[in-house]
C-alpha cells in the first residue's frame, strides 16, 4: 500500500523485481494485523484505493505511516530548516 495516496495493490501478481520497484516508490507491505481488512477492500481485484479520511483500519494505518515519515523528516532536517524552506516556497508562490 502507498500511504500517501491510499493505493492498495495485491503483491501476489508481481515478481521480485517489480516488488522492489514498488518499495522504491513508497509502497509498503500491509502488516499481518491488517491483512484481513486489505483482502476485504480488494475483493479479489488486483488494486483498490483506500480512503485516507474514513477512519477505517487501513486509513488509520496510512495516517500512522505518514506521521512516522514526517517525524523522521523533522528529526533529520530540524524545525528551523523546515520553516526556512516553507517560507521560501511561500515567497516563490506569491511571486507567481
Model confidence over 21-49: pLDDT tens digits?
A: 999 999 999 999 999 999 999 999 999 99
1 within 8 A of 27, measured Cβ to Cβ: yes
Phi-psi region of 10 (alpha: psi -120 to 50; beta: other; left: phi over 0): beta
Three-state DSSP at 9 gives strand
Which range of residues forms the domain containing residue 85? Answer: 7-95
Q: Beta strand pairing status for 47-49 and 7-9?
A: antiparallel
**What pTM was estimated for this model as a whole?**
0.79
Q: How many domains does the chain have?
A: 1
40 within some domain: yes
DSSP string, 33-51: GGHHHHHHHHTT-SEEE--
**Residue 87 pLDDT exceeds 90:** yes
2 within some domain: no
How much is the pLDDT for 7?
Answer: 96
pLDDT band at 90; cut points 50, 70, 90: very high
1 within some domain: no
82 within some domain: yes
61 within some domain: yes
Amino acid at each position: 500500500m502507498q500511504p500517501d495516496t491510499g493505493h492498495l495493490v495485491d503483491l501476489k501478481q508481481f515478481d521480485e523485481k517489480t516488488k522492489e520497484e514498488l518499495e522504491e516508490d513508497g509502497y509498503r507491505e500491509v502488516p499481518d494485523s491488517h491483512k484481513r481488512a486489505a483482502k476485504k477492500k480488494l475483493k479479489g481485484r488486483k488494486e483498490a484505493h483506500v480512503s485516507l479520511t474514513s477512519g477505517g483500519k487501513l486509513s488509520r494505518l496510512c495516517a500512522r505511516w505518514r506521521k512516522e515519515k514526517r517525524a523522521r523528516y523533522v528529526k533529520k532536517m530540524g524545525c528551523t530548516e523546515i520553516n526556512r524552506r516553507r517560507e521560501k516556497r511561500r515567497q516563490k508562490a506569491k511571486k507567481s
